[in-house]
Amino acid sequence: MAAITLIEAVNKAMAYEMGVDEEVVILGEDVGANGGVFRATDGLQQKFGDKRVIDTPLAESMIAGVSIGMAAQGMKPVAEIQFMGFIFPAVDQIICHAARMRNRTRGRIHLPMVIRAPFGGGIHAPEHHSESTEAIFAHIPGLKVVIPSNPSRAYGLMLAAIRDPDPVIFLEPKRVYRIEKHEIEDNGEEYPLGMCFVDREGTDITLISWGAMLHETKQAAEKLAAEGISAEVIDVATVSPLDIDTILESVEKTGRACIVQEAPKAGALGSEIAAEIAEKGVMNLLAPIGRVSGYDTVMPYYRLEKQYMPKVEHIVEEAKRIVEYR
Amino acid sequence: MTTVAKFEINYLQFMDENGTFISKQVPPQFAQDIDTVKSLYRDMCLIRVLDQKAYALQRTGKMGTYPAATGQEAVGVGFGSAMTKDDVLVPYYRGQAAMIQHGVLMEEVLLYWGGDERGCDYKVAKQDFPIAVPIATQLLHAAGIAKAMQMRGEKRCVFTEIGEGGTSEGDFYEALNVAGIWNLGVVFVINNNQWAISVPSEIQTNCETYAQKAIAAGIECIQVDGNDIIAVKEASEKAAEKARNGGGPTVIECISLRLCDHTTADDATRYRPEGELDEGWKKEPILRLRKYLESKKAWSEADEEKMKKELAEEVQTAVDNYLNTAVDSPAAMFDNLYAELPERTLAQRELALARGAK
């Protein structure tokens, strides 16, 4: 068993599944000899050949559209969009076709495909490389949207995503690609999609987050503990379809909820979670729901990036405000 | 300065508007078989009758928006008849001629335009894609299907159709580029009916031909008389044979003319120049094939009457099947969203059912 990073876990999961299922193929820009710009596909072309790890021309709509055609024939394409900021030419294909093919053919054609993309800020990247636009896809019926927060989950959720019979958008928080290592047994064991993970148990407040921001959220929970506040931490992991029951159960126990997201605040996933808690759990609440998020601004270029990102102290502050609410 | 590349576009036509084989070329084998020609004639007539019926259904409130293919029957029937049942069709929205040729049922076409997804659940053409409404997106699906066939070493090919206006879309170029570089077995049929709703070629492209757009992707191309079904079928059969045997893609531009409105929701008198339709009706594909059959003493007025009666009955049966298909349960909105419906959405399904069909 080796200790590996999140990006290595993505690589391992893809390699595992390619080894046991010959229908699994990888395609994208620079995924071959280069192993991907973040090295997610490092070594895979050497291992599985250029017929199964395919360097595509530079065209994102094509990558998504071709994946749809391949998946319709029973293959299981795992396509890489190099950065989420470049996914937009492919959105037509993802929303208008991938998400609805099963429905509009009444089940005759279904699409077992994964579209991976690194996303989020914090690595001093060029413009258009740092946005968190997961809500765009989470809004679309027919898609599943998965965001791993650590190496173990990246491994297990990627396996589940590839094996899922429907299209999965797999968003990788690149800021935490290499921030920690987990001991992972490369045994092909998946984590189920559509399930939240309770990462820390607590009694005073539920902190709900996903992706890179889960790290700040967990640190905030530590700090709160030092101040005598017991925070429960939930990793949403599959942001669509949302496992709202786990969140509601937790809020029923703690009576307080704070959602932490890197994305802008308005019309986001945090809004949906807050609305669900308000609809189904408002009588359990001892205080108004709180949200810690990015600003409703364009994601700034990297000199101001730090000022945009929610930080541990913001979460601590908001959690304390909620807990102290009378 | 030296020339580093040169290209030319060939034009294929066998039969002129009088139904006469032009002298300089030997007609293909299939065109010398009178029964084959008769069957192509019948298949084109079927599409025209279906389109007329669909128009009538829309006008009487029994169907939604419908795009007729009047005047373009030779394109879809021509390339559709070049396909084997193992090939895959990825149609465009005005693709009923090729779809029906490849096994999609008329009632499925009507059901689809009648607002029901079950019209995409093809009973026979199991692997064919449903119509893609977003323009040009389907060409990439065709490329992906052909990629899968290539990886599995299958001797099948993919046909996909697009209007000439659609060739301005990015997906068109992305599909041609990838099909070229990967040598995919796709036949791209550009149905140039000369109108993209109200936009004519003069304001659509600066190219002399749409076929030549293939040159930039390194793909073989040809322009054919899209009113001459012999030319369409011959070019398609050659391209299909090549595609099935690892020879790569072909672009076939078929020049026709849309003799109808864009759809039932359009009024072409707002933009179509006067006289265009009169000229167009002289060149249309069905008339010229009938003239040919008559010149061979292979078709009579009585044959025509008999066929028309049969086609009317055939179409009416499809219409009856369509109209007799009851509106689906509200549960149908949910039942094929995912392989397994998420719990959250399951509650909405129950709600929709509780609210009932009203």
DSSP state of A94: I
pLDDT tens readout for residues B70-95:
999 999 999 999 999 999 999 999 99
Summarize the confidence of residues B22-49 as an average pLDDT.
95
Q: Is the same domain home to A205 and A269?
A: yes
pLDDT value at residue A72 = 98
Domains and CATH numbers, chain B: 11-326 (3.40.50.970), 327-358 (no CATH)
Contact list, A69 vs chain B (CB under 8 Å): 90, 140-148
Q: How many domains are there within chain A?
A: 2
Span A289-297, average pLDDT = 98
Same domain, A104 and A223: no
Mutate which: A29, A104, A163, A239, vs B, most B CBs within 10 A: A104
* pLDDT for B107: 98
Tell me the residue length of chain A. 326
Q: Could you tell me if B87 lies within 8 Å of chain A, comparing CB atoms?
A: no
Please report whether residue A54 resides in a domain.
yes
Q: What angle do CA A174, A179, A185 make, to 5 degrees?
A: 95
Domain for residue A94, yes or no?
Answer: yes
A293 and A166 share one domain: no
Q: Domain for residue A276, yes or no?
A: yes
Q: Are B106 and B316 in contact (CB under 8 A)?
A: no
pLDDT one-digit tens code per residue, A91-125: 999 999 999 999 999 999 999 999 999 999 999 99
Task: Please judge whether A69 and B145 are an interchain contact, meaning their C-beta atoms are less than 8 angstroms apart.
Answer: yes
Establish if A277 belongs to a structural domain. yes
When CB atoms are compared, the residue of A97, A105, A106 closest to B137 is A97
CA distance B272 to B261: 10
Residues of B in contact with A109 (CB under 8 A): 127, 129-130
**B140–A69: do the CB atoms touch at under 8 Å?**
yes
pLDDT of residue B357: 62
The closest of B234, B293, B224 to B13, measured between CA atoms, is B224
What pLDDT is attached to residue B121? 98
Residue A137 included in any domain: yes
Residue B133 distance to chain A (closest CA, Å): 9
Question: Nearest Cβ partner of B178 from A25, A62, A77?
Answer: A62
Residue A189 lies in a domain: no
Structure-block tokens of residue A141: 């019926």
Tell me whether B183 touches chain A (CB under 8 Å): no
Nearest CA in chain B to A24: B148
Write the secondary structure of chain B as one string of H (helix), E (strand) and C (coil): CCCCCCCCCCEECCECCCCCECCCCCCCHHHHCHHHHHHHHHHHHHHHHHHHHHHHHHHCCCCCCCCCCCCCHHHHHHHHCCCCCCCEEECECCCHHHHHHCCCCHHHHHHHHCCCHHHHCCCCCCCCCCCECCCCCHHHHHHHHHHHHHHCCCCCCEEEEEECHHHHCHHHHHHHHHHHHCCCCEEEEEEECCEECCEEHHHCCCCCCCHHHHHHHCCEEEEEECCCHHHHHHHHHHHHHHHHCCCCCEEEEEECCCCCCCCCCCCHHHCCCCCHHHHHHHHCHHHHHHHHHHHCCCCCHHHHHHHHHHHHHHHHHHHHHHHCCCCCCCCHHHHCCCCCCCHHHHHHHHHHHHHCCC
User: What torsion, rounded to 10 degrees, do the Cα atoms B285, B290, B291, B296 define?
Assistant: 130
Q: Give buried/exposed letters for A90-128 (b at 16+ CB in 10 A, else e).
A: bbbbbbebbbbbbbbbbebbbbbbbbbbbbbbbbebeee
Give the C-alpha separation, A41 to A14, whole Å.
8
Q: Is pLDDT above 80 for A265?
A: yes
Whether residue B178 lies within 8 A of chain A, CB to CB, comes out as yes
pLDDT category of residue A2 using cuts at 50, 70 and 90: confident
Check whether A266 has a pLDDT greater than 80: yes
Q: What is the mean pLDDT of residues A66-83?
A: 98
Q: DSSP letter at A230?
A: -
Contact B344 A68 (CB under 8 A): no
Task: For residue B174, give how far its alpha carbon lies from the nearest alpha carbon of chain A (Å).
Answer: 6
CATH of the domain at A96: 3.40.50.970
Write the CA distances from B121 to A71, A141, B94, B112, B127, integer angstroms.
17, 20, 18, 9, 10
What does the pLDDT read at residue B266?
94
Same domain flag for A148 and A217: no
Residue A204 sits in the same domain as residue A173: no
Per-residue model confidence as pLDDT tens digits over A172-226: 999 999 999 999 999 999 999 999 999 999 999 999 999 999 999 999 999 999 9
Domain-embedded: residue A191: no
Average pLDDT on A143-165 reads 98
Q: Which of A59, A70, A110 sits opposite B339 (nearest CB)?
A: A110
How many Cβ atoms sit within 10 Å of the Cβ of residue A252? 15
pLDDT at residue A301 in the model: 96
C-alpha R_g of chain B? 21
The arithmetic mean of pLDDT across residues B229-246, rounded, is 98
Query: Do A65 and A41 lie in a common domain?
Result: yes
Is there a catalytic annotation at residue A129? yes
**B24: confidence class by pLDDT, cuts 50, 70, 90:** confident
**Are B129 and A109 an interchain contact pair (Cβ–Cβ within 8 Å)?**
yes
Residue B358's pLDDT is what?
61
Same-domain pairing of A168 and A223: no
Question: Which tens digits make up the pLDDT trace of A213-248?
Answer: 999 999 999 999 999 999 999 999 999 999 999 999
- A106: in domain: yes
Predicted confidence (pLDDT) at residue A1 exceeds the cutoff of 80: no
Shortest Cα–Cα distance, B128 to chain A (Å): 9
CA dihedral sign of residues B39, B45, B51, B57: negative
Answer with the one of A142, A161, A184 that is the final residue of a domain.
A184
Last residue of a domain, one of A184, A218, A240: A184
Are B120 and A105 within 8 A, CB to CB? yes
A19: three-class secondary structure by DSSP: helix
Q: Which residues of B touch A61 (CB under 8 A)?
A: 137, 140, 170-171, 174
Q: So what's the pLDDT on residue B25? A: 81
What is the arithmetic mean of pLDDT over B220-238?
A: 98
Which one from A97, A129, A182, A215 is the annotated catalytic residue? A129
Contact B127/A at CB under 8 A: yes
CA–CA separation, B358 vs B349, rounded Å? 15
Contact B175 A62 (CB under 8 A): yes
Question: A58 and A111 in one domain?
Answer: yes
Interface check B175 vs A, CB under 8 A = yes
The predicted structure's pLDDT at residue B214:
98
Mutation pick from B138, B171, B174 vs chain A, by most beta carbons of A within 10 Å, is B174
Average pLDDT over residues B290-301: 98
- A309: domain CATH number is 3.40.50.920
Give per-residue pLDDT as tens, B115-143. 999 999 999 999 999 999 999 999 999 99
B142 close contact with A: CB closer than 8 A:
yes
Range of the domain at A271: 197-323
Q: Looking at the structure, do residues A201 and A167 belong to the same domain, yes or no?
A: no
Over range B206-224, report the average pLDDT. 98
